[in-house]
């Protein structure tokens, strides 16, 4: 990665949009998504994106990128007056949408991953956990209104960024 890891970014993803399960998210993150597999896939065929982790609806975790390496999850982004959040953050994708409630299994795995990442990367401050929408406002909305920030705060025992 080069830079010190200081931030955790929570995202959501489903492929095709609103559909859960299946291999398509993993295919997207490994640049093997078949553009002919679904009409929506043609729109995103040229994307080269990744995340450090994906947490499925049942809590199953897939790691795509080492936390020592940069993943392409944040895009054009800014946090605490620093741009290019990919360079100093870890991306965790939750299988879901802005409007589908996340599962307790997902919150449990998210808590575990964050705690392990903080141990491995001690420069991640307790409150340095944000949504994609926090670092790319107006451009991104995830993890969305269905994400329970209070649940995550309670699990981690910290106060996170205030949200409207």
95 is catalytic: no
Task: Calculate the CA dihedral of residues 45, 47, 50, 51 and round it to 10 degrees.
Answer: -100
| Residue 25: C-alpha distances to residues 1, 31, 104 (Å) | 23, 10, 21
Nearest to 7 by CA among 97, 70, 96: 70
75 within 8 A of 139, measured Cβ to Cβ? yes
SS3 107: helix
155 within 8 A of 107, measured Cβ to Cβ? yes
Scanning the structure block, which residue is given the tokens 């800014």?
78
Per annotation, catalytic residue among 93, 125, 151, 159 = 93
Euclidean distance between CA atoms 91 and 55, whole angstroms: 11
Residues with catalytic function = 93
């Amino acid at each position: 990665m080069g830079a010190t890891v200081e931030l955790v970014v929570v995202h959501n993803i489903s492929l095709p949009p609103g559909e859960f399960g299946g291999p398509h998210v993993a295919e997207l993150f490994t640049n093997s998504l078949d553009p002919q597999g679904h009409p929506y896939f043609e729109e995103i065929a040229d994307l080269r994106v990744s995340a450090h982790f994906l947490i499925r609806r049942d809590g199953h975790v897939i790691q795509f990128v080492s936390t020592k390496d940069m993943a392409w999850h944040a895009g054009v982004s800014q946090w605490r007056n620093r741009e290019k959040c990919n360079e100093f953050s870890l991306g965790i994708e939750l299988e879901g949408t802005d409007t589908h409630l996340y599962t307790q299994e997902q919150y449990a795995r998210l808590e575990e991953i964050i705690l392990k990442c903080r141990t491995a990367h001690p420069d991640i401050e307790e409150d340095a956990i944000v949504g994609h929408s926090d670092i790319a406002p107006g451009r991104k909305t995830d993890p969305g209104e269905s994400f329970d920030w209070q649940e995550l705060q309670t699990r981690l025992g910290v106060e996170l960024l205030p949200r409207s």
